[in-house]
Structure 1
């Protein structure tokens, strides 16, 4: 039975790996430190929302055997809307992922430095973090292989490592289980917690995962009979990812101080209370989170550009490799030299904020088209859940734009 389960693992763990990056670790850490267990329900809501949208994306990929960006390019007939949609997607996913890649690599570096210490190289007046080069090199090697099965196995192993690391960290802190269950299933919203709730949902319901899932699922499955495997794969992986995020929040809730700003501060805060093991478990989890996101973000960007520009959807082509290679290279340069491309990151936040409701709306529209999905189009239940998530994504978009432009709407 276990052998069959492993045999039918699909791209679900890659989706989980993509949304549990260093940014998610930081947001969950701050949520736990500031609000204890009271915002765990936001993570439960995020998991449900992610499952609904990712199931639609997977179903679209299996039935059509096309990626989401390719469907958008062929289904939007009005030329102006098509150009605007493609420009928005390329800006948010390709440029956005290039901007965020430095953060993914830097997150992995922080975890590595906690375990083995920092290591810098001095060259032509510049200080280069060699851990960044190492993580960039690992990501490049894995993607260069261009083999979906190998990629899947490596990321399943990394996600498992990350899950165990954060789970053990949470267990070490010996949380009050009644308080944890109350926080997970009884919503509590205050004016102070609203932006944190939005951030928790925003780091889990990720636009580029919708593109990544639709493209990867057809590498694994090819017939409608495979839908049951895809659904099970999606549900298990996303729930596992949500539990990882909740474990980080639970661990952070045990620290009674406001001097925690990121996962490394959390590791240092846990050490005097729970010993060296807590620090190392957390550092291993952060390293795994950084390296998995450093692999999936460039991969998603390459699939998106291929679909938008009508390239052959093949992981072995030079064009495909040049996209993910460029993104990793930029990430390594910015990370290793300690450069923070603030303007690019701000631009990426804006485009991603606009993109999520646009793509969620487009996905729901496409999933109701009999001409594309036949008997596998959305049911009423799918559309009700999808409609609720669309409203949430619009609120997320407004909150992102509010944060970037300081509109003081909240």
Structure 2
């Protein structure tokens, strides 16, 4: 990282040497897979067995395309995705600014609460709200006082922890793995259509997929020669995500579907799974699962606290018409958004979520993923991007399909909000 800090771009590696540089992809995948994804995949397995496995896998493919496209724009143009959006009109900056403020306020409370659930179950001496505040403060202090190198190292440790525990749990409960292959053939059980679309659209992150380019940039990757390393990094990360998601679906199918056990469709459903594991395998396995649950939630919190603060800082300086010297990590705007994610949302831990704020959050959230997919299609086929880094037919096909999927999901969510 000395090269990044001194302003020089490190030389892109080749061959097997690329493996030593992997990291930003793991960070974005770990950030995108939070407690909500665990619940969505678990409930899919508990309701439909292996029938929706193909949807979870397709969700990872969609996120590979979105995060790869975002990072490719960064590397090929030397600019950021926000700068690209501004070439499509100044309205894009205002849209993102409003979205990221509302999103950060709601998500901050959600992330702290999700992280508090396993911690309060493992250490019941403190109430849930106290663990939520502690989780937010730990994220704030960690991101404030560590640079990217340390952040990436800790994220890899958390990913390793959650991966080993959840995959190990899947191996423990699985009884007939050949049935898993039947779920790879697309099918739609009765009542599963919009649930399937949500699984495809939600697994692996939403707005955080666009943060990949920022992590690649702060890592020191810059220029077209880094594209092969970025693609290997991105594919490796989402293969790990795919295996993780499949493991959680196995747990839902084998442990809950076959026994007809229903869990509530919220983060607290994971505590219900802990109770099921305790009854079947003993409290030790249940506690181990809670550790994996905690690692998943903490990695998502850390990732959002760091990545979205970088994203916001870029937006702030873009809208002001200038860029500060050096990178955005540790800038005043970076620290402002870090505070915004941590402290104001603590009010929601006590007051509940104001109705109007939830409506605005839901509307902007529904519209962001179509916005990302469509703008990537426009930017990555434009003359801003060197010819060798523009979209091919496969990338255009996947991004176009993603845009269509997210438009359907947006229409569904907006209809629900209106109702």
Question: Is this a same-fold pair by TM over 0.5?
Answer: yes
Q: Distance in 2 between matches of 1:281 and 1:198?
A: 31
Specify the alignment match of 2:335 in structure 1.
321
**Mapped pair 1:235 → 2:248:** no
From 62, 67, 74, give the equivalent of 1:49. Answer: 62
Specify the alignment match of 2:378 in structure 1.
365
- State whether residues 29 and 205 of structure 2, in contact with CA within 8 Å, keep that contact through their aligned partners in structure 1: no
**Mapped pair 1:72 → 2:85:** yes
Specify the alignment match of 1:257 in structure 2.
260
Specify the alignment match of 1:123 in structure 2.
none
**How far is the alpha carbon of 1:6 from its aligned partner?**
5.7
The correspondence of residues 151-190 of structure 1 with structure 2, limited to 5 A, is 151-183=151-183, 185-190=184-189
The correspondence of residues 67-146 of structure 1 with structure 2, limited to 5 A, is 67-73=80-86, 75-77=87-89, 82-83=90-91, 85-120=92-127, 129-146=129-146
Specify the alignment match of 1:195 in structure 2.
194
> Where in structure 2 are there 5+ consecutive unaligned residues?
1-13
- State whether residues 211 and 303 of structure 1, in contact with CA within 8 Å, keep that contact through their aligned partners in structure 2: no
Distance 1:71 1:405, change over 3 A: same
- State whether residues 92 and 351 of structure 1, in contact with CA within 8 Å, keep that contact through their aligned partners in structure 2: yes
- State whether residues 75 and 222 of structure 2, in contact with CA within 8 Å, keep that contact through their aligned partners in structure 1: yes
- State whether residues 17 and 289 of structure 1, in contact with CA within 8 Å, keep that contact through their aligned partners in structure 2: yes
Larger deviation, residues 164-173 vs 40-49: 164-173
**How far is the alpha carbon of 1:209 from its aligned partner?**
2.1
Q: Residue 284 of structure 1 aligns to a residue in which SS?
A: helix
Distance 1:164 1:94, change over 3 A: farther
Q: Residue 22 of structure 2 aligns to a residue in which SS?
A: coil
- State whether residues 51 and 189 of structure 2, in contact with CA within 8 Å, keep that contact through their aligned partners in structure 1: no
Specify the alignment match of 1:345 in structure 2.
358
TM-score normalised over the length of structure 2: 0.87
TM-score normalised over the length of structure 1: 0.89
From 18, 23, 30, give the equivalent of 1:17. Answer: 30
**How far is the alpha carbon of 1:12 from its aligned partner?**
0.6
Distance 1:267 1:346, change over 3 A: farther
- State whether residues 25 and 237 of structure 2, in contact with CA within 8 Å, keep that contact through their aligned partners in structure 1: yes
- State whether residues 107 and 289 of structure 1, in contact with CA within 8 Å, keep that contact through their aligned partners in structure 2: no
**How far is the alpha carbon of 1:70 from its aligned partner?**
2.4
Q: Distance in 2 between matches of 1:25 and 1:98?
A: 22
- State whether residues 139 and 305 of structure 2, in contact with CA within 8 Å, keep that contact through their aligned partners in structure 1: no
Specify the alignment match of 2:277 in structure 1.
270
Q: Distance in 2 between matches of 1:52 and 1:330?
A: 34
**How far is the alpha carbon of 1:289 from its aligned partner?**
1.7
> Where in structure 1 are there 5+ consecutive unaligned residues?
121-127
**How far is the alpha carbon of 1:338 from its aligned partner?**
6.8
